[in-house]
């Protein structure tokens, strides 16, 4: 029994002397609780709704006023007026708006003549949570429009909302795939650029590099590019296998593969730069292992990979705005679920490039070519 | 021109000064040993010379280039074997050499010949395709020696190359270094805490302790410079009052250092002192429990200059934490 106590004593003494690990091991479940707690099931708000009014009659204006009051009060969506339905649908495909409410030219006439007036909601159904929230809110609004102050009987004059989905049905596994592709890139960066990098440093392998005439820039470029190559391979393999598993239509469309490759490369560069910045002054091999989980939770769940960001509380949207995962996930969703072109992902690629540039500049400044 | 010219070099880590203003020169073609216990500042000194650590004050010229202002030129001239085993265990012997040949910009047409020659020199030709992880510690060290020479450096730095190796492997490493040295135009600076190694291998030795240079000369002259040709180590029971003085008065005795129960007696004539010691013990009714007579070794030199035996110093000195140095 004494021997057992000796082991217990040793383990507890060792434990007490690693305060960082204790803090991180307690921090991890807290971060997970908070992030996951707010990541799922929040009311989806702050959507954008394009409104195309091709009627301009008084009933149409009333309908828009009703929508305006929802925007001002519940804040489910903001309205953006579009003159041209074509432009509105293009904005929908490129992800700038979440739905298009079209009021047809004969709307006022039909309302006034009780001839079954209809309005249409064209929605981006690649995000079921967003689509459901938008549809429910507008249905509620139409219901309110159909409650005149004087008469209450159901009659042909009541407006109906036709919901048009512009994409085929997206099962949840397809919805999750973009996040998984980003995760595969992150995992490889974490292992190759984090754990192995620090292990090599601790084993003195970097000392071997530092005594050669290699310049600081050549050394960093070597670390970053080798990490990026590994991460790109991981991302590409996961995208291909994942597309087949999740049943993405036309998984080997060459043009899309090319666009995907561009996003994978930029994501890999952004994440490896971030990892290099985090690890540039670290020497303890436990650190990358300890922060693995925290970083994973902190980057993955707020990115919109599992639930729309419109459902997040304000502070989490702040994380989401800075999170490189957000832009990578958005770009992969556009390409995999909507098969869009570069127009829809230009902003994502721009953010990832700027993120890479800033993280890399900071890392290079912090990197020391001596021990 | 001296291959290495160290000028009042100082390195501090916060409040702790690891190297306290050391100066010395190493001539071209010399094998120069830095001898001292762990924590003496040897590794810090060598790390400054190979541009891994910037000195706090002072500087050094390596191959005529300043280690502070001309790091790149220094790096091109030197080969370095760090203290830790830094060969890549996942790669094969040959791949290890190839990567470093590329890091040093050795032209493609020279690489193969150089690597073949070096593998032959360290007797690893038949192991060239084996992963380094499959090799023994001694073989791994030889891979690293070959790796450090892959760009034909003029000056070769080895930081405790035999620490952690078994006696047979240690001797093999010395042989190898001697052979390599004979075949090329090379200056070698080696740190060690093994006296026999420094004695057999080095042309000149600097004894370093607590960050200071305690002595510097050829092993022969270092040994000749301290009192006595022989050292007697003896223990007695019982030890009478004034025994040290009695021993001091024996013929040819040049110094007595009691250490716990053991007396170290420096003597100009070992046999004569031994005879006298035995009869003095018999007269005083003291039993001689143990007695050894040796020629002066570097161990004695070390005791003379640092006031303690190297084996004690090895235990006393705190092993410097490497991570602390990296910060």
Which of A165, A191, A218 corresponds to the end of one domain? A165
Q: Decide the pairing of beta strands B31-35 and B204-209.
A: parallel
Question: Are residues A233 and A252 both part of a single domain?
Answer: yes
Peptide bond just before B238 cis, omega within 30 deg: yes
Average pLDDT over residues A343-350: 92
* Residue segments in chain B with a per-residue pLDDT below the cut of 70: 308-327
pLDDT per residue over A201-232, tens digit each? 988 889 889 999 999 999 999 999 999 999 99
Which residues of A fall within a CB distance of 8 Å from B80? 208, 211
Q: Please indicate, yes or no, whether residues A55 and A196 belong to a single structural domain of this protein.
A: no
Q: Do B51 and A207 touch (CB under 8 A)?
A: no
Last residue of a domain, one of A165, A196, A229: A165
Ranges of each domain in chain B: 4-223, 227-295
Query: Is position A98 within any domain?
Result: yes
> What number is the average pLDDT over the span A180-200?
93
C-alpha A287/C-alpha A213 separation (Å) is: 29
CA dist., res. A303 & res. A7, Å (int)? 44
Partners of A49 in the β-ladder = A79, A99
In a shared domain, residues A223 and A342:
yes
Cα distance between residue B101 and residue B183, in whole Å = 20
Substitution target in B82, B89, B104 with the highest count of A β-carbons within 10 Å is B82
Alpha helices in chain A (DSSP H): 2-16, 19-39, 58-73, 85-93, 107-112, 128-145, 172-188, 196-202, 205-210, 216-246, 254-279, 286-300, 314-322, 324-338, 342-366
- Is position A37 within any domain? no
Q: Mutate which of A204, A212, A366 to disrupt the B interface (most B C-beta within 10 Å)?
A: A212
CATH number of A75's domain: 3.40.1710.10
pLDDT given at position A25:
83
Within 10 angstroms of residue B309's Cβ, the number of other Cβ atoms is 17
Domain range enclosing A298:
172-366
Same domain? For A207 and A142 the reply is no
Q: Is A213 within 8 Å of B105 when comparing Cβ atoms?
A: yes
DSSP state of B319: P
Residues A197 and A139 in one domain: no
Q: How many helices (H) and strands (E) does chain B have?
A: 13, 14
Roughly what angle, to the nearest 10 degrees, separates helices B167-183 and B137-148? 20
pLDDT at residue B321 in the model: 42
Domain membership of residue A42 (yes or no) is: no
pLDDT of amino acid B327 = 36
CATH of B227-295, one of 2.60.40, 1.10.10, 1.10.540, 3.30.70: 3.30.70
pLDDT of residue B154: 93
Which of A207, A214, A370 minimises the CB distance to B54?
Answer: A370
Residue A2: inside a domain, yes or no? no
How does pLDDT run across B8-63, given as a tens digit for each residue?
A: 999 999 999 999 999 999 999 999 999 988 888 999 999 999 999 999 999 999 99
> Average pLDDT, stretch A59-71?
88
A81 in any annotated domain: yes
Instruction: Report the residue of chain B nearest A222, measured CA to CA.
Output: B103
Same domain (yes/no): A53, A96:
yes
Q: Which residues of B touch A216 (CB under 8 A)?
A: none
Q: Is residue A346 part of a domain?
A: yes
Predicted-complex ipTM score: 0.79
Q: Both A216 and A351 in a single domain?
A: yes
Structure tokens at B117: 């020659």
For A69, the 3-state DSSP assignment is helix
* In contact, A126 and A78? CB cutoff 8 Å: no
What residue has token string 């990567």?
B99
Note whether residue A39 is domain-resident.
no
Whether A207 sits inside 8 A of B103 (CB atoms) is no
Structure confidence at residue A145 as a pLDDT band (50, 70, 90): confident
Average pLDDT over chain A reads 89
If asked whether residues A157 and A179 sit together in one domain, one would say no
The domain over range B4-223 is classified in CATH as 3.30.110.60: no
User: What is the share, in percent, of chain A residues with pLDDT greater than 70?
Assistant: 97
Q: What is the pLDDT of residue A15?
A: 85
Does residue A132 share a domain with residue A224? no
In sequence order, what are the residues at sequence separation of 6 or more whose Cβ sits closer than 8 angstroms to the Cβ of residue A336? Answer: A174, A177, A178, A239, A243, A248, A256, A260
Nearest to B178 by CA among B31, B7, B310: B31
Whether residue A355 sits in one domain with residue A286: yes
Position A195 pLDDT exceeds 50: yes
A94-133 pLDDT, tens per residue? 888 999 999 999 898 888 888 888 899 999 888 888 898 8
pLDDT surpasses 80 at A154: no
Same domain, A143 and A180: no
Establish if A273 belongs to a structural domain: yes
Q: Within this chain, do residues A294 and A187 fall inside the same structural domain, yes or no? A: yes
Rounded to an integer, what distance in angstroms lies between the CA atom of residue B292 and that of residue B270? 10
The count of structural domains within chain A is: 2
Q: Which residues of A touch B321 (CB under 8 A)?
A: none
**Cβ B51–A370 below 8 Å, yes or no?**
yes
């Amino acid at each position: 029994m004494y021997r057992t106590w000796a082991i217990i004593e040793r383990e507890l003494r060792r434990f007490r002397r690693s305060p960082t690990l204790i803090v991180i091991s307690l921090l991890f479940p807290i971060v997970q609780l908070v992030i996951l707690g707010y990541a799922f099931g929040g009311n989806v708000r702050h959507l954008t709704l394009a409104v195309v009014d091709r009627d301009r009659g008084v009933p149409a204006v009333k309908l828009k006023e009703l929508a305006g009051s929802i925007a001002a009060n519940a804040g489910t969506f903001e309205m953006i007026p579009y003159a041209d339905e074509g432009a509105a649908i293009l904005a929908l495909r490129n992800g700038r708006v979440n739905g298009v409410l079209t009021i047809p030219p004969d709307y006022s006439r039909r309302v006034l003549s009780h001839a079954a007036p209809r309005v249409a909601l064209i929605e981006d159904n690649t995000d079921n949570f967003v689509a459901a929230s938008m549809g429910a809110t507008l249905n509620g609004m139409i219901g309110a429009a159909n409650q005149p102050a004087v008469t209450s009987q159901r009659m042909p004059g009541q407006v109906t909302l036709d919901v048009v989905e512009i994409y085929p049905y997206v099962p949840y596994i397809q919805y999750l795939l973009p996040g998984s592709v980003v995760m595969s890139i992150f995992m490889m960066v974490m292992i190759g650029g984090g754990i192995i990098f620090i292990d090599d440093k601790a084993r003195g392998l970097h000392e071997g590099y530092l005594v050669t005439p290699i310049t600081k820039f050549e050394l960093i470029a070597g670390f970053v590019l080798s990490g990026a190559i590994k991460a790109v391979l991981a991302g590409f393999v996961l995208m291909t296998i994942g597309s087949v598993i999740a049943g993405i239509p036309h998984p080997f469309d060459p043009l899309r593969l090319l666009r995907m490759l561009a996003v994978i490369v930029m994501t890999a560069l952004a994440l490896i730069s971030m990892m290099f910045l985090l690890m540039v002054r670290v020497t303890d091999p436990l650190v990358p292992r300890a922060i693995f989980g925290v970083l994973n939770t902190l980057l993955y769940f707020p990115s919109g990979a599992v639930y729309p960001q419109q459902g997040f509380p304000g502070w989490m949207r702040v994380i989401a705005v800075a999170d490189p995962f957000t832009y990578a996930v958005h770009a992969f969703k556009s390409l995999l679920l909507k098969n869009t072109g570069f127009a829809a992902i230009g902003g994502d690629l721009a953010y990832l490039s700027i993120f890479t540039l800033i993280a890399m500049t900071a890392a290079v400044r912090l990197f020391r070519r001596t021990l | 021109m001296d291959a290495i010219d160290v000028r009042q070099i100082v390195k501090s880590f916060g409040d702790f000064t690891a190297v306290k203003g050391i100066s010395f020169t190493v001539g071209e073609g010399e094998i120069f040993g830095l001898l001292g216990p762990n924590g003496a500042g040897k590794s810090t000194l060598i790390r400054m010379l190979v541009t891994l650590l910037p000195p706090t004050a002072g500087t050094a010229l390596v191959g005529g280039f300043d280690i502070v202002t001309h790091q790149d030129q220094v790096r091109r001239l030197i080969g370095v074997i760090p203290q830790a085993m830094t060969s890549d265990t996942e790669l094969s012997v040959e791949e290890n050499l190839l990567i470093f040949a590329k890091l040093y910009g050795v032209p493609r047409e020279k690489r193969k010949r150089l690597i073949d020659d070096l593998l032959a020199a360290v007797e690893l030709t038949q192991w060239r395709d084996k992963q380094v992880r499959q090799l023994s510690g001694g073989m791994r060290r030889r891979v690293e020696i070959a790796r450090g020479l892959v760009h034909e450096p003029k000056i070769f730095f080895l930081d405790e190359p035999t620490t952690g190796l078994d006696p047979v492997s240690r001797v093999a490493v010395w042989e190898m270094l001697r052979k390599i040295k004979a075949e090329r135009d090379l200056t070698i600076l080696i740190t060690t805490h093994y006296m026999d190694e420094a004695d057999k291998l080095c042309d000149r030795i600097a004894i370093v302790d607590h960050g200071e240079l305690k002595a510097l000369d050829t092993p022969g002259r270092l040994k000749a410079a301290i009192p006595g040709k022989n050292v007697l180590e003896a223990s007695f029971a019982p030890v009478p009052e004034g025994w040290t003085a009695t021993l001091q008065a024996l013929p040819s005795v040049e110094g007595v250092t009691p250490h716990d129960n053991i007396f170290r007696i420096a003597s100009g004539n070992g046999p004569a002192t031994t005879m006298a010691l035995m009869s003095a013990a018999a007269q005083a009714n003291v039993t001689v429990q143990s007695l050894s007579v040796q020629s002066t070794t570097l161990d004695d030199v070390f005791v003379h200059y640092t006031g303690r035996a190297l084996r004690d110093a090895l235990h006393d000195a705190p092993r410097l934490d490497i991570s602390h140095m990296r910060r």
